[in-house]
């Protein structure tokens, strides 16, 4: 399959009614989704799927639909006439438990959701010459996991999927050459932790609203545009990976929940200004347990900074240990510069008044001399 076709499947798996689909074309009839696509965006996705280049793709059969008790959703597409090649699609976060499960991604152990994904792959009936696994967001993390742990998987493609802890990758032999990560250049979810991918490609997306860069359809319409990870995403990656090494596991879990928790989300992803505030507040006083509410909701009051400013700050202060402090330091510097400028202005004003006074006295002296000479 092409990257476009894989991403189409990763978009449709969020839709309602997927369980009844028997072919890829049936997926186009499904309505509704949980990733905040507008009706216009749904039409756009369907139009891409119906393009002539995807005619054979629409005929492929869908088998083995499953939803597990933890919120996972999977199906497999058989993409050859003889049924020897297959692609398993794994949905991103679904349900309350999987939101909680995201908090454990930085652990050295496999999460419950990852083990369920591996069980789905092991229980697939039949033998395949090739088995590709793919997923978006948490589904991308699951795809990476099963590629590392299940021998029957021949390749994996993760779209905007977060990574793992350094300890986990050492134990499971990652990064792996059979895993490819394809991420939107401004996406921060894929910047969390360390990717298991041997190859990573970034998609240039012209979406100005940073909240939407994690939506699969945004990457879908830009799939052929090459990009590079943005300073914001790169900064988040460095901040999180640096601090994770120094934190206890409960604190790590709280951090991951902070970055993923839906109570802090707008349109499926943290607002970037809120993210900067939350990170500054979190690292200033990491919680002793997994109670996110203690470190996040009031964070916006700590510092307010728009996306462009945060992007500039992270780009300018690239040293990992100083990124969070540099934002506040920069703001304090600007306040100092403003005070300094005001002081200089007052001094110039005073000097100008002195000059005018001196100039007046000089004119008076000249007039006195003129009178005396006459």
pLDDT of residue 305: 39
> 10 Å Cβ neighbour count for 347?
10
pLDDT of residue 360: 78
Rounded to whole angstroms, the Cα distance separating 257 from 108 reads 16
Is 1's pLDDT higher than 50? yes
pLDDT of residue 337: 66
Decide: 330 and 311 in contact? Cβ < 8 Å. no
Per-residue model confidence as pLDDT tens digits over 14-48: 998 999 999 999 999 998 665 678 889 999 999 99
pLDDT of residue 53: 97
pLDDT of residue 50: 97
Is 320's pLDDT higher than 50? no
Rounded to whole angstroms, the Cα distance separating 100 from 345 reads 55
Interhelix angle 272-284/323-373, rounded to 10 degrees, is 100
Per-residue model confidence as pLDDT tens digits over 35-90: 678 889 999 999 999 999 999 999 999 999 999 999 999 999 998 778 889 999 99
Is 176's pLDDT higher than 80? yes
Q: Over 164-179, what HEC string results?
A: ECHHHHHHHCCCEEEE
Kindly calculate the radius of gyration of the chain based on its CA atoms and give it in whole angstroms: 28
> 10 Å Cβ neighbour count for 132?
24
Of residues 20 and 102, the one with the higher pLDDT is 20
Average pLDDT score over the chain: 79
Give the torsion through C-alpha atoms of 43, 46, 52, 57, to 10 deg: 180
Of residues 181 and 335, the one with the higher pLDDT is 181
| Per-position b or e across 31-51, b if 16+ CB within 10 A of its CB | eebebbbeeebbeebbebbee
Rounded to whole angstroms, the Cα distance separating 361 from 321 reads 60
Helices (H) and strands (E) in the chain, counts: 14, 10
Contacts for 42 with CB less than 8 Å, ≥ 6 apart:
33
**Backbone CA torsion sign across 239, 11, 146, 79:** negative
Q: Which residues pair with 63 in a beta bridge?
A: 76
> Per the confidence metrics, is the pTM higher than 0.85?
no
Q: What confidence tier does 319 reach under pLDDT thresholds 50, 70, 90?
A: very low
Per-residue model confidence as pLDDT tens digits over 215-256: 999 999 999 999 999 887 887 788 778 777 777 666 666 666
Average pLDDT rounded to a whole number, residues 289-307: 38
Rounded to whole angstroms, the Cα distance separating 141 from 62 reads 22
Using alpha carbons only, what angle is made at residue 57 by residues 55 and 60, rounded to the nearest 5 degrees?
Answer: 120
Rounded to whole angstroms, the Cα distance separating 314 from 90 reads 33
Give the strand pairing for 197-203 and 226-227. antiparallel
What kind of fold does domain 3-229 have according to CATH?
Rossmann fold (3.40.50)
pLDDT of residue 318: 41
């Amino acid at each position: 399959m092409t990257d476009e076709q894989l991403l189409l499947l990763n978009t449709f798996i969020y839709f309602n009614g997927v369980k009844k689909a028997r072919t890829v074309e049936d997926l186009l009839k499904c309505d509704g989704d949980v990733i905040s696509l507008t009706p216009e965006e749904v039409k756009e996705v369907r139009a891409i799927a119906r393009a002539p280049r995807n005619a054979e793709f629409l005929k492929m059969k869908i088998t083995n639909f499953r939803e597990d008790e933890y919120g996972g959703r999977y199906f497999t597409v058989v993409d050859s006439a003889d049924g020897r090649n297959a692609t398993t699609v794994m949905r991103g976060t679904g349900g309350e438990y999987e939101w909680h499960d995201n908090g454990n991604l930085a652990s050295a152990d496999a999460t419950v959701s990852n083990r369920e994904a591996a069980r789905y792959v092991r229980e697939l009936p039949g033998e395949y010459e090739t088995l590709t696994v793919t997923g978006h967001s948490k589904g991308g993390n699951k795809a990476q996991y099963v590629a590392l742990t299940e021998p029957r998987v021949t390749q994996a493609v993760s779209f905007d999927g977060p990574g793992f802890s350094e300890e986990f990758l050492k134990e499971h032999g990652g990064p792996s050459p059979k895993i490819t990560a394809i991420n939107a250049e401004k996406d921060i979810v894929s910047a969390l932790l360390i990717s298991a991918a041997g190859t990573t490609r970034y998609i240039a997306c012209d979406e100005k609203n940073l909240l939407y860069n994690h939506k699969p359809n945004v990457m879908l319409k830009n799939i052929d545009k090459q990009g590079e990870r943005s300073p914001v995403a790169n900064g988040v990656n460095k901040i999180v990976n640096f601090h994770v090494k120094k934190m206890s596991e409960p604190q790590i879990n709280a951090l991951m929940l902070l970055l993923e928790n839906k109570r802090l989300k707008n349109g499926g992803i943290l607002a970037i200004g809120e993210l900067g505030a939350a990170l500054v507040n979190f690292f200033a006083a990491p919680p002793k347990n997994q109670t996110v509410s203690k470190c996040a909701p009031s964070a916006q009051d700590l510092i307010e900074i728009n996306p462009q400013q945060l992007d500039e700050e992270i780009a300018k202060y690239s040293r990992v240990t100083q990124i969070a402090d540099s934002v506040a330091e920069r703001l304090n510097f600007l306040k100092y510069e403003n005070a300094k400028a005001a002081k200089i202005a007052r001094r110039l004003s005073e000097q100008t008044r002195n000059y005018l006074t001196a100039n007046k006295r000089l004119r008076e002296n000249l007039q006195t001399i003129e009178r005396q000479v006459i």
